[in-house]
A = this chain, B = another copy of it.
């Protein structure tokens, strides 16, 4: 009956009833008692089963909802989500966002490694139809960049779509999710907003097109290099080494 108490003795130190309830539900998922899509007992019953008050259970459930493990629908019930990696790992983008001052470079370094691998893998896996779609994204981005009042928001969205579409075809959902989330919305927005120089925007778009051509050629190594170089360019533009040294090296 008092499952919660049993879990405490089994697990680590008792740091609180709610933490215990969270870990208990987590463990039920890991153990397979709760499967993706499955409906949980109603709050009243589940609270009684775990030996906690309904409000306490709600805080535990809310924590799991925040980390995309559970999903609640008012009037219906609480369900286990698909637990797919891209769903559970999308909280990482928030981590990247709050470190855009100090640690943005570290996130970008990781993204460079992963994006290079994901792009290389995608070179031999992305369907022709999605390559066409990729080309459309590039064309649209260049159109937007040509306008005088450049819509940076639109460019950010197209940039994100471009990389996400490639990564989604690397054959590894975890790699795609981690890569995608290694730079959050705020980071991407800052990068593009920092491109006051029109030349910087065009250079970035040229890098995108270089990756695109490598994918068209189904050349993994070319794709890997261009992807890495592209992210490296972003890194250097953030650390400031791109404004002088980077630009000089390119020129």
Query: Which positions in A face B, CB cutoff 8 Å?
Result: 18, 22, 26, 29-30, 55, 58-60, 62-67, 83, 85, 88-89, 91-92, 94-95, 97-99, 103, 106-107, 109-110, 113-114, 117, 172-175, 178, 186
Chain B residue with minimal CB distance to A95?
A: B88
Among B85, B99, B106, B114, contact of A113 (Cβ-Cβ < 8 Å): B114
Nearest CB of chain B from residue A250's CB, rounded to whole Å: 25
Set of chain B residues within 8 Å of A114, measured between Cβ atoms:
110, 113-114
Give 6 pairs: A residue, B residue, CB < 8 Å, sorted on A: A30-B97, A59-B59, A85-B95, A88-B95, A106-B174, A110-B172
A60 and B65 alpha carbons, distance in the complex (Å): 11
Whole-angstrom distance between the Cβ of A71 and the nearest chain B Cβ: 11
**Whole-angstrom CA separation of A36 from B91 in the bound complex:** 19
Given A92-B92, A110-B178, 13 additional A-B pairs, CB 8 A:
A18-B62, A58-B59, A59-B59, A60-B62, A62-B62, A64-B66, A83-B98, A85-B95, A88-B95, A89-B92, A106-B174, A109-B174, A113-B175
Q: In the assembly, how many copies of this chain are there?
A: 2
6 A-B pairs with least C-beta separation: A63-B66, A106-B174, A59-B62, A88-B95, A106-B172, A63-B63
Q: A30-B186, A83-B98, A114-B113 are in contact. Are A173 and B63 (CB under 8 A)?
A: no
**A175, B98: Cβ atoms closer than 8 Å:** no
List of B residues within 8 angstroms of A63 by Cβ: 62-63, 65-67
* Docked complex Cα distance between A9 and B112 (Å): 35
A60 neighbours in B (Cβ, 8 Å) = 62
- Separation in Å of the A180 CB from the closest CB of chain B? 12
A103 to B63, CA, bound (A): 24
- Closest residue of chain B to A176 (Cβ to Cβ) is B106
Instruction: Determine the chain B residues whose CB is within 8 A of the CB of A95 once the complex forms.
Output: 85, 88-89
> With A and B bound together, what is the CA distance between A62 and B55 in angstroms?
12
**Pairwise interchain contact B175-A106, C-beta atoms closer than 8 A:** yes
